[in-house]
A and B are shown apart, each in its own frame.
Chain A
Amino acid sequence: MTAIDWNRLATRARRGRRVRSGLLLAFLTLVSLPVILPFFWVVVISVSARTGGVEAAVLWKACAVLVPCVLAYAGVHTFIASVRARIIAGLLLGGLCLIGLYVLIGADLHLNNYRFLVNPNLIEDIRGAATIGGQFPWVWEAFGNSLLVAITSMTLKVIVATLAGYYLSRFAFRGRSFFLQSLLLLEVFHPWMLTIPIFLVIFWVGLLNTLSGPILVLTVIDLPFYIFIMKGFFDAVPWDIEMSAMTDGATRRQAFRHVVLPQVRGGIIAISVLGFIKGWEEYVFVTALRTGNSYWVMSTYLYYVAEDVMGVDYGLVAAVSVFYMLPSLLLYLFLQKYLTQLTLGGVKG
């Protein structure tokens, strides 16, 4: 029996692991490019474009700096094992990157496209007072309205879905299974198919041209799905804990608040994020449920900036887009771990 060369085997395994993780990194970078590039481009345009034209050159120059840096960092990750060395290399590359960007495109950068944030009369300044009856608002008004729509519908959705989910999970009542089935059935129809009937209903109850219209419609459309999600989360909370709380002297409501609710916190945060973003990005119903310019939200603001008013000022459009994008992006970044729990709770339902 020949002696086994353990060292050689270990070296081979180490090399194999490194190559595999390097390939994986390269693959992931490649597939994320089409996703990241448009966003990156919008950001670049928003800080570089001057009225009337888009400088593609700025994008290419920025890429010329960023791509080698990213590749170099991937290389560092693949071939250097020490965490300390990786951090140092990362910082060095980051510094290099900043210097390179400053040298190549520093002169082209400006914040002029973001003037809409501070100028209440942007359109009038550009086109004169007559533009769409002088009704085009300051961006903060649209921002406030969007926030109102998003937060109000989110709050309504979370409260109703949580209570309904708990009830469906814990109580047996006549028609329970029918109710659950019809919740799913509602998901089959795309809400846009219902635009005309919804318009009529909103018109008849007199909520046309008010923000309450889209708020209520958005709430109702998402509720079935959210109720189902919350039911799944409540199903995962054992009965014992509730019984225990009640023998410990709590009423059913206190048991719900102190013991059950904290355990579905993940679900509540997840549907809050989804609910907020749904309201924040809503376009169809906010447009359909107004007949004039009775209210502005961010999506309609962006639409008018892009279509009606500006024509070709891509710099401004990009800047508004970036501003519009930021809240959703931040929410996703900080709360994504709760969103991944969603599938877990949902499957159990």
Chain B
Amino acid sequence: MARVDLQNVTKDWGTAVAVDDISLDLKDGEFVAVLGPSGCGKSTTLFMLAGIYAPSSGDIRFDGARVNDVEARDRNVGIVFQSYALYPNMTVLQNILFPLRFKKVPRTDAEREAREIARLVQIENLLDRRPGQLSGGQQQRVALARALVKKPNLLLLDEPLSNLDATLRLSMRAEIRRIQRELGVTTILVTHDQIEATTMADRIICMNAGRVEQIGTPTDLYRAPETTFVAAFIGSPPINLIDARLAGDTLEIGDKRLRATGAGADHGGPVKLGLRPEHIREAEAGSATAGLAATITASEPMGRETLYTADTPIGSLHFLEATSMPRLAPGAKLSLTFDGDDSLVFDAATTRLMHGVCAHV
């Protein structure tokens, strides 16, 4: 269990930069998710922490001590690979014992520890099998047991759930979280699945093209995404992002003008307006503000709620209604509105959130 710091870490292979100047610090026992699309450098970051890749520049510290030059085998880091990477020539028990073999743990102690950890991840009845005879979920548990048996400073999970079917994924999510809390091990989960990240992690590091876009709690990332990338990546169905122009206290979208607050009178330029589908609703009849005249073009029942697509003066918008039965048919006309506090305005040039700036219908 350790505190982990990355300071200005960069990894490049010649001209290809995989990880570009990232800094983050993990508290002892924290569960952090690294979230991003494939190729954003999240696995590279993981492998640098494990000691498989050496950073091109920057420092990696465990409990304040620089470990850049410490070999992978000496870092005492547990990894669960996406493929699980179990040793096919060994039984489950031998797989779990493998890390202890190099720590010179006496055989009887090692077996006891291995059985203990096997009980924790509930595979004690599979110890004599070979990995080839196990299902995906069982292999996952074995990989987890093998990573945990050495009491790692740091547990790294590389897309651990992506090879499981949907129901199993749900239960393993809770399971991994339970085990992590029980052992209090500092954990980094790498994933491209936002649900996995938001449900499991204390904090999320959202990465894109080798850079950190935002670090924060799942709520932070959802409520106040720092960049359009984070706004678009977090949330399902995805946020509506509309090209607009800010001019003092008005927001121009095509011919339509919305009222803007929070921006200086002299402030202007191209911006993007972000509206989450669940924040758009039908305007109450006879309310003071006019709302956006909308025509429904598609409705998709999603189980608990319904996702509508509507044509409005500010473009095509997705919005959600918490009804399981679609209420509106394509072609239906209605008036849409949203609360100004829920709207997000991003600077189009820097893609960054303009704090305090809101749009009102």
Band of interface residues on B = 20 to 34
- Taking CB atoms and an 8 Å cut-off, the chain B residues in 85-142 that contact chain A are 85-89, 98-99, 101-103
Residue among A240, A248, A265 making CB contact with B99, cutoff 8 Å: A248
Residues in chain B near residue A248, CB distance under 8 A: 73, 98-99, 102, 146, 150
Query: Is A247's CB within 8 Å of the partner chain B?
Result: yes
Closest to A238 in B: B83
Closest to B88 in A: A263
Residues in chain B near residue A254, CB distance under 8 A: 102
On whether the beta carbons of A245 and B77 are closer than 8 Å, the reply is: no
Query: Is A251's CB within 8 Å of the partner chain B?
Result: yes
Query: Is A244's CB within 8 Å of the partner chain B?
Result: yes
On whether the beta carbons of A245 and B87 are closer than 8 Å, the reply is: yes
Residues in chain A near residue B247, CB distance under 8 A: none
Query: How far, in angstroms, from A248 to B75 measured CA to CA in the complex?
Result: 9
Query: Is B36's CB within 8 Å of the partner chain A?
Result: no
Query: How far, in angstroms, from A247 to B71 measured CA to CA in the complex?
Result: 9
Query: How far, in angstroms, from A248 to B114 measured CA to CA in the complex?
Result: 14
Query: Is B41's CB within 8 Å of the partner chain A?
Result: no
Residues in chain A near residue B81, CB distance under 8 A: 240, 243-244
Closest CB in chain B relative to A338 CB, distance in Å:
15
Band of interface residues on A = 10 to 19
Query: Is A250's CB within 8 Å of the partner chain B?
Result: yes
Query: Is B277's CB within 8 Å of the partner chain A?
Result: no
Query: How far, in angstroms, from A243 to B82 measured CA to CA in the complex?
Result: 12
- Taking CB atoms and an 8 Å cut-off, the chain B residues in 250-308 that contact chain A are none
Residue among B75, B85, B89, B103 making CB contact with A238, cutoff 8 Å: B85
Query: How far, in angstroms, from A238 to B99 measured CA to CA in the complex?
Result: 19
Query: Is B48's CB within 8 Å of the partner chain A?
Result: no
On whether the beta carbons of A247 and B79 are closer than 8 Å, the reply is: yes
- Taking CB atoms and an 8 Å cut-off, the chain A residues in 229-245 that contact chain B are 238, 240-241, 243-245
Query: Is B50's CB within 8 Å of the partner chain A?
Result: yes
Query: Is B52's CB within 8 Å of the partner chain A?
Result: yes
Residues in chain A near residue B51, CB distance under 8 A: 246-247
Query: Is B209's CB within 8 Å of the partner chain A?
Result: no
Query: How far, in angstroms, from A241 to B52 measured CA to CA in the complex?
Result: 12
Closest to A251 in B: B73
Query: How far, in angstroms, from A244 to B72 measured CA to CA in the complex?
Result: 10
Query: Is A101's CB within 8 Å of the partner chain B?
Result: no
On whether the beta carbons of B75 and A247 are closer than 8 Å, the reply is: yes
Interface of B toward A, CB cutoff 8 Å: 47, 50-52, 72-79, 81-83, 85-89, 98-99, 101-103, 146, 150
9 closest Cβ pairs, A-B complex: A249-B102, A262-B89, A240-B85, A244-B85, A248-B99, A249-B73, A240-B81, A246-B72, A241-B85
Q: List 6 A-B contacts (CB under 8 A).
A: A238-B83, A241-B87, A243-B72, A244-B87, A245-B98, A258-B87
Not counting A243-B47, A249-B103, A263-B89, a sample of 10 additional A-B residue pairs whose C-beta atoms are within 8 angstroms of each other reads A243-B81, A246-B52, A247-B73, A248-B98, A248-B102, A248-B150, A249-B101, A250-B98, A262-B87, A262-B89
